[in-house]
């Protein structure tokens, strides 16, 4: 089973959850041995289905990184020379 798949044999239908929720006493204390509906198999506090799998860095990202760095450096040069680039319009600061 991968991280994004849910175990279908242990899923509870919506009707069953509604029936259990309506029959439950909201003032009853939670049992010490209570466990969540889906246990986290990675050992963390959140179940695996809560967050998506991390994306890998695409190949060729050095070109994008260089372009972003060039843009940041250009904006820093403009701002440090006394100009304001608010709203994309260059004016005297």
Q: Which of 69, 55, 50 is nearest to 6 (CA)?
A: 50
Q: How far apart are the C-alpha atoms of 35 and 33, rounded to whole Å?
A: 6
Nearest to 41 by CA among 70, 8, 12, 2: 2
pTM summary value: 0.36
The token pair at 14 is: 């919506």
Q: Band the pLDDT of 40: cuts 50, 70, 90.
A: very low
Q: What is the pLDDT of residues 50-70, one digit of tens each?
A: 776 676 666 667 888 899 999
Token pair of 19, please? 């029936």
> Domain spans of the chain?
1-54, 57-93
Mean pLDDT over each residue of the chain, to the nearest integer: 76
H/E element, 62: helix 61-80
> Residue range 35-48: average pLDDT?
60
């Amino acid at each position: 089973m991968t991280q994004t798949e849910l175990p279908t044999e242990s899923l509870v239908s919506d009707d069953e959850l509604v029936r259990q929720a309506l029959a439950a006493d909201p003032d009853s204390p939670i049992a010490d041995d209570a466990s969540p509906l889906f246990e986290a198999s990675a050992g963390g506090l959140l179940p695996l289905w809560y967050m998506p799998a991390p994306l890998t860095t695409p190949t060729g990202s050095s070109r994008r990184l260089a372009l972003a760095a060039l843009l940041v450096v250009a904006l820093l040069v403009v701002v440090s020379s006394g100009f304001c680039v608010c709203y994309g319009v260059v004016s005297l600061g």
